[in-house]
């Protein structure tokens, strides 16, 4: 299937007062229409930076130093700013990690959804209001007429997250990026939010990029997984393949650290060490090498470390695969 989104050798740096942070290094992966892709990794691995680069909302301190972001074959990085603004919302939309901070606290949630609809649709005011009610019903918010008049502080975290999803779906985007959409929510609300996301992919063919550090959640939801570590994709494969036989040592370590996936409490193990300092000028080709239990001298050989296909649809970047 032709990918909807293709990221090719994307590199992003941040200029800070303490040095240059090499946040993404030659990052590559694809998302197909209707696919739910899980982007997995520890905090600081570059998951959200990748999403912001796709959406064109990176911080001012960020600098894209190489690569392409192709949406239906068109390079988003070459788009004029006005064209990118028009694409955002219809081409792709994002559900942010913290719904309360993503929403404007001094405007009603109905007005905020209406802003998105009006900007991209050209509908009349009456039609915009009807669309707002329709979206609130779609994300299963009870009494949408009354809730549309509420301010974010008057709603629970789960309702705010549903409002965020309604805003993201307002213009029927072809790609939905959900950045830790269930963080801080109770189990019942988490299940409801994930069902909304699955329903969108199933019923409308929307591609979904689910960004999470929760490997158990991704295992239940995603068709395919991309495993990130320190700005690199270290493994990418169908979910079942990664769960049954992880090939990269970092992926294997993540699986051993999740109670529901480790097999038993006795098999639980933490991933050793921590992420390297991404400001270092001497970062090794494999940024996991200093934490790796399988490290060999050849792991430190100079030259870029590329993702290689080790089985049909299963990619890994490692010089010492089992």
Number of domains in the chain: 1
Give the per-residue pLDDT at 193: 85
Out of 106-110, 157-161, 269-273, 303-307, pick the least confident: 269-273
Out of 15-19, 64-68, 200-204, pick the least confident: 200-204
Strand arrangement, sheet containing 308-311: 92-95, 175-179, 207-212, 36-40, 224-229, 232-238, 314-316, 308-311
Residue 125 lies in a domain: no
Local confidence band at 266 (pLDDT 50, 70, 90 cut-offs): low
Overall residue count recorded for the chain in this entry: 322
Which is more confidently placed, 189 or 201? 201
Average pLDDT of the chain?
91
Q: Which domain holds residue 181?
A: 5-91+173-316
What letter does residue 293 receive in the DSSP assignment?
T
pTM value? 0.92
Residue 195 lies in a domain: yes
Residue 158 lies in a domain: no
Local confidence band at 153 (pLDDT 50, 70, 90 cut-offs): very high
Residue 138 lies in a domain: no
What CATH number corresponds to the domain at position 34? 3.40.50.300
The stretches of the chain forming alpha helices (DSSP H) are 47-55, 81-87, 99-102, 109-121, 125-138, 144-147, 157-169, 187-204, 215-221, 239-244, 249-256, 259-262
Two structure tokens written together for 220: 């239940």
Residue 146 lies in a domain: no
Which is more confidently placed, 183 or 28? 28
Percent of the chain whose predicted confidence (pLDDT) is above 70: 97
Which is more confidently placed, 64 or 172? 64
Residue 203 lies in a domain: yes
Local confidence band at 115 (pLDDT 50, 70, 90 cut-offs): very high
Give the per-residue pLDDT at 261: 65
Residue 225 lies in a domain: yes
Which is more confidently placed, 302 or 266? 302
Q: What is the rounded CA–CA span in Å between residue 264 and residue 246?
A: 18
Radius of gyration of the chain, Cα coordinates, nearest whole angstrom: 20
Give the strand pairing for 62-71 and 308-311.
Answer: unpaired
Residue 240 lies in a domain: yes
Percent of the chain whose predicted confidence (pLDDT) is above 90: 68
Q: Which residues of 107-128 are buried (b: 16+ CB within 10 A; e: fewer)?
A: ebbbebbbbbbbebeeeeeeeb
User: Measuring CA to CA, which residue among 1, 11, 25, 2 is closest to residue 288?
Assistant: 25
Out of 29-33, 43-47, 99-103, 161-165, pick the least confident: 99-103
Which is more confidently placed, 272 or 166? 166
Two structure tokens written together for 128: 């915009």
Out of 7-21, 231-245, 264-278, 298-312, pick the least confident: 264-278
Two structure tokens written together for 106: 């001094």
């Amino acid at each position: 299937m032709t990918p909807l989104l293709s990221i090719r050798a994307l590199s992003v740096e941040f200029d800070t007062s303490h040095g240059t942070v090499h946040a993404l290094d030659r990052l590559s992966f694809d998302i197909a229409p209707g696919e739910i892709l899980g982007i997995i990794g520890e905090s600081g691995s570059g998951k959200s930076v990748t999403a912001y680069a796709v959406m064109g909302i990176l911080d001012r301190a960020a600098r894209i130093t190489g690569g392409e972001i192709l949406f239906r074959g068109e390079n988003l990085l070459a788009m004029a700013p006005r064209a990118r603004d028009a694409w955002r919302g219809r081409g792709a939309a994002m559900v942010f990690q913290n719904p309360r901070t993503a929403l404007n606290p001094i405007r009603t949630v109905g007005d905020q959804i209406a802003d998105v609809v009006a900007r991209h649709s050209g509908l009349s005011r009456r039609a915009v209001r009807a669309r707002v009610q329709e979206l609130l019903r779609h994300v299963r918010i009870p009494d949408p007429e009354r809730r549309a008049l509420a301010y974010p502080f008057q709603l629970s975290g789960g309702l705010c997250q549903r409002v965020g999803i309604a805003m993201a779906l307002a213009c029927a985007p072809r790609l939905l990026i959900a950045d830790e959409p269930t963080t801080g929510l109770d189990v019942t609300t988490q299940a409801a939010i994930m069902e909304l996301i699955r329903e969108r992919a199933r019923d409308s063919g929307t591609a979904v990029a689910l960004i999470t550090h929760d490997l158990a959640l991704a295992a239940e939801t995603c068709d395919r997984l991309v495993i990130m570590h320190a700005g690199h994709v270290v493994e990418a494969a169908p979910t079942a393949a990664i769960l049954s036989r992880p090939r990269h040592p970092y992926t294997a370590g993540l699986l051993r650290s999740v109670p529901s996936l480790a097999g038993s409490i006795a098999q639980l193990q933490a991933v050793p060490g921590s992420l390297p300092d991404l400001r270092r000028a001497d970062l090794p080709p494999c940024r996991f090498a200093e934490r790796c239990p399988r490290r060999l001298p050849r792991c430190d050989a100079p030259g870029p470390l590329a993702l290689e296909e080790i089985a049909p649809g299963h990619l890994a970047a490692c010089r010492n695969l089992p």
